[in-house]
Structure 1
């Protein structure tokens, strides 16, 4: 729009100018995607912080940053290295984002480019990005540094090892760093030295956005469903610990929430990996009862900071694992609320992180702020995601409070609710809380979940 281009400030509250000539490769981490540095500053930071300088593994792919163009740029770096006889100094693992991408990059020679410098191609799967990675090269707890093009790098996420420091970069950055084998080499300015002293100064890679010959679908594995799904029955082996039929969540009973117990009060970062870790738990993703045994086991509870994932049973004062506490409350018919800090639920779009609290008897999650995807997932499961109108109200909540959420009968978009805390000393405090539920979301809440409402609408 010429008019907008001429005077953008007339149409937008804020105008941000980005000089693309100044963009340089960056690396983020470890332990969070929020810690960002240009490659030129990584070496100094690594030495100052005592990060292991040798890269123990480099990983490209999974669902994020593994498109045809992504792999094409990575392959361009590989071709530059291969032409000079260079091979990777750190193990380089490639996980194609889909069977279609794998088949296409194999057909077009991009996989061969990567394999020529020593890369290993893994299955088309989540793989190491979500903890499906058996490492035999690192002892439990051993400090080591890895680089990946994945979208998350939280502690223990990739290999279950708390000593692994995970850094994130673009696919081409990861390949370049696999060639250097170290965190303290600035490949954007320094040549990479191979065996025999051969030096290669990499040029910025380029690649086609889409394959010129179109995509190769590969082996799709698609099986046409039955024309009449009503006649299909799902048979699950009795006693299976990996599959379990889902039972619809109960609909809202029309009453305000009263007497909710505080399961935990997360302090600091509480990601989806803290809420529902992956890795060894993924085998239970089809069994909600079993996978719910990991609920909040990584959370730092302000009321029980000696060990993560612990909570206090207000009935007897005992300290127990949070999933056990949630189950005890559920079995006793006691609904609960979880309290969170800033950006609660940051991380992957992990549905189980929302299903588990609902299944284990939670009714509401009250936080200073939500990560967007987790908040949306909670809504789908019939949970009530709430935020403090005043962040300081977080400090008012005590471990033994009884909590009421009032105003649910008048629940409407942009209308605040009221939370009342009943303290054990006989005092009470009330404050407003906010929600972002639309009319559609409110329908999900009243029906008990989005699936419940969908099933009811279909008759």
Structure 2
């Protein structure tokens, strides 16, 4: 807490029987001026600075800069933000705990006390990313999938159970419970945090960072938080502030109401498209306007969840009566609700009707103008009206049917895509369960109700169940080639679907419960039925998946599916009935009833009144009972054996968890920064390269470097599991970096896959093999890329893998926020082209030798550096780049070799 308090803001707030200490924003205004006009999200940051003012990391000038923001509505001031807590999911959480365990080992080797390595802020890790849809369309699907999950992940789970007992301030929510963001929204978050320090009660805004980009979902509850890489989250756990520039805040005004038949998903896809087109990367978005009064909290959370898709750091909703009602519904204690209301009103954080803060920029949406929508087939910001889906698919199909060599120019702005399919008829007959069916281009082969984004919202979940009921009553059924699944974000969802009498109808359509986790949305869709899989492969079919998730990047959902559509849960059900993305559901029938009469989507779509009647069945007791023992776990979790001790007993034979090499030289002096000399280019990429492209994700191919390594360790391909599940083993992950099947290295002339050329010998090989050869030759490496490099999920392995491959710098036209930070955090230099230049405009083809001058211990944020590229013919080209180390804190981290190295060296010293 504050050791300075130069503005004398400390005061007390009486709530019931408890007197809370807090730093008053109205008191601060007496010296700072009219700060009430600040966006609420910036008021939360201001309170954080008041609370942690120490004259060193937070100064009086930092606090004044928050008030001065009102003048220019933007700032170049760097501030240090200290979140109240950290949230993790298991894919990103396991490597974070691996790093903590490795740091304990390093401290012990240096003669220190390993117990010094502990989270200083509360950390909750929710195991939600490991369940896969192996079994579906059957009553035992959930039980069988959980059993397979435990079997596959025994080593990881034993490691996490060790961490739960070894580290203070660290809790684990076991598998089969829910998705981290939904558990956060429904249980963990408090809107206003409270703790006891030296016998005194303190109150302050609930804030957090999370190791998943959709941490922003909780912004809907008035909680300021966003996704960071695991690297940055670990530093926050260990007491390091999150360094950031005071952001621009874009105000998004909502007015009106959704029309009959519109869903929260339609609204969020519209908002996502509008904000992505406006350009809000690195900015806060704050929602305001009188339309919020009638916007349910679940709808707010759905919009906030999608902040990474519209590119913002967060999508924030202030606290109001809707917030309190949700806290009551989800079973929060009365004293928490009283504290939230009293504190928010005392601090000016409460949303008042008609209040319009000052913003850097504004947008407006009349919600009555929203229309039924999907997003796809490749990006979440590409909204398509329901009736426009066939044409959007045809455009993709035309692209896929065009030879790849002629498409390089067209695909220049896309991260992958473009492999030409053969001379296929686009139609094939397959035998499924003894019956003949025709599958063609556009067939929907996956229909998944999944992801925290929509399964947290009772209105769209009830709508899905009601549509299923009406469809069954009209005699419709799921198409046999559709793999259908239901993976809610919490157990409460199945409780209210059961109470509404809708579970049986979803089951009849094949939407049986398959697990409580992210499943299809993160690529854990499991295998397609063999006849369908074979038909796609042998006939080069371009097929579709429809899911209620938030990401649909290429290669993410399933390796055989090239068109992925984000949709509301009821539309997921509708497409399972139709089985065809070339069908215009706005006009054409879903199918025929028993009397051979056409049944249209409008015939089975539930009314708003029917949905509201079903939603009214959701009760607070459901939440209280489900979260009463949320950290206990079932018999499977309880049976996982684990070791004890302050340091982890590493198993050299484990293929899931290994001691990483990052801290091997931590006891040696820091080496001074030097220019990069005689570097080779590992790969040249276009625009919109996502962390899905960079970081190992999805299934592991037997022929890949990672697959070959696992087979050498005695692991058979059927036991490979996913890359995400093996994030605790650097040997697997570094082999899978840049190995995405859809990534396109321009050095390979448009070919897909993680391959490159080892330039000195001209040999074609995997990116991993080339990197290892360059390392053996002592050659530093550089990656060249286009715009929005590193967009997508906050995957720390996108930076860790880059580091371990020997890449010293990435030169791109622009970077996505989290990945840029992660590169710095792993000691990789992010550099940005200037003057509208690019690898293409400079005619860099990847065969050059690059040298980067100006890198030294005096390096400054935003410094210009000179790059010299020598072509194979001896010609030289020089160009300037901007050093995207953005803050002074990041300079310190980079000089130390990375953020964790910086923290660990401080602890050892």
TM-score tier after normalising by the smaller chain length: 0.7 to 0.9
Supply the distance in 1 between the matched residues of 2:541 and 2:847 (Cα, whole angstroms): 36
Match of 1:152 among 548, 551, 557: 551
Match of 2:774 among 314, 329, 339: 329
Is 1:271 the counterpart of 2:690? The answer is yes
Match of 2:573 among 175, 187, 208: 175
Cα-to-partner distance string for 1:412-432 (whole Å, 9 max, x where unaligned): 34x323032141526351313
Supply the distance in 2 between the matched residues of 1:190 and 1:20 (Cα, whole angstroms): 26
CA distance 1:35–1:266, shift in 2 (3 Å): same
Q: CA deviation at 1:383?
A: 2.2
Supply the distance in 2 between the matched residues of 1:11 and 1:456 (Cα, whole angstroms): 43
> Which secondary structure does the structure 2 equivalent of 1:441 belong to?
helix
Match of 1:75 among 443, 462, 465: 465
Match of 1:247 among 652, 661, 676: 661
Supply the distance in 1 between the matched residues of 2:900 and 2:452 (Cα, whole angstroms): 25
Instruction: Indicate the residue corresponding to 1:27 in structure 2.
Output: 374
Q: CA deviation at 1:264?
A: 1.4
Match of 2:676 among 236, 258, 261: 258
Cα-to-partner distance string for 1:90-131 (whole Å, 9 max, x where unaligned): 442112234565667667766455324431221233333333
Supply the distance in 2 between the matched residues of 1:211 and 1:343 (Cα, whole angstroms): 43
> Which secondary structure does the structure 2 equivalent of 1:18 belong to?
strand
Instruction: Indicate the residue corresponding to 1:382 in structure 2.
Output: 827
> Which secondary structure does the structure 1 equivalent of 2:454 belong to?
coil
Supply the distance in 2 between the matched residues of 1:361 and 1:416 (Cα, whole angstroms): 23
The answer as to whether partners of 2:786 and 2:838 remain within 8 angstroms in 1 is no
CA distance 1:291–1:85, shift in 2 (3 Å): same
> Which secondary structure does the structure 2 equivalent of 1:297 belong to?
coil
The answer as to whether partners of 2:673 and 2:895 remain within 8 angstroms in 1 is no
Instruction: Indicate the residue corresponding to 1:138 in structure 2.
Output: 533
Instruction: Indicate the residue corresponding to 1:417 in structure 2.
Output: 864
Supply the distance in 1 between the matched residues of 2:854 and 2:381 (Cα, whole angstroms): 36
CA distance 1:99–1:297, shift in 2 (3 Å): same
Supply the distance in 1 between the matched residues of 2:391 and 2:442 (Cα, whole angstroms): 11
Supply the distance in 1 between the matched residues of 2:886 and 2:619 (Cα, whole angstroms): 41
In structure 1, stretches of 5+ residues that fail to align are: none
Q: How many correspondences in the alignment?
A: 452
Q: CA deviation at 1:343?
A: 1.4
The answer as to whether partners of 2:824 and 2:830 remain within 8 angstroms in 1 is yes
> Which secondary structure does the structure 2 equivalent of 1:159 belong to?
coil
Match of 1:95 among 474, 483, 487: 487
Q: CA deviation at 1:171?
A: 2.3
The answer as to whether partners of 2:696 and 2:733 remain within 8 angstroms in 1 is no
Instruction: Indicate the residue corresponding to 1:317 in structure 2.
Output: 762
Cα-to-partner distance string for 1:335-387 (whole Å, 9 max, x where unaligned): 21211111112222222212100112122211111223322332332322222
**What is the 5 A alignment of 1:426-441?**
427-435=876-884, 437-441=886-890
**What is the 5 A alignment of 1:225-236?**
231-236=645-650
Higher fraction of helix: 2
The answer as to whether partners of 2:675 and 2:854 remain within 8 angstroms in 1 is yes
Q: State the TM-score, normalizing by the size of structure 2.
A: 0.45
> Which secondary structure does the structure 2 equivalent of 1:286 belong to?
coil
Instruction: Indicate the residue corresponding to 2:730 in structure 1.
Output: 288
The structure with more radius of gyration: 2
Q: CA deviation at 1:328?
A: 1.6
Instruction: Indicate the residue corresponding to 1:114 in structure 2.
Output: 506
The answer as to whether partners of 1:84 and 1:198 remain within 8 angstroms in 2 is no
Q: State the TM-score, normalizing by the size of structure 1.
A: 0.84
The answer as to whether partners of 1:388 and 1:434 remain within 8 angstroms in 2 is no
Supply the distance in 2 between the matched residues of 1:330 and 1:220 (Cα, whole angstroms): 45
**What is the 5 A alignment of 1:189-208?**
192-196=590-594, 197=597, 199=599, 200-203=603-606, 206=611, 208=615
CA distance 1:334–1:2, shift in 2 (3 Å): closer
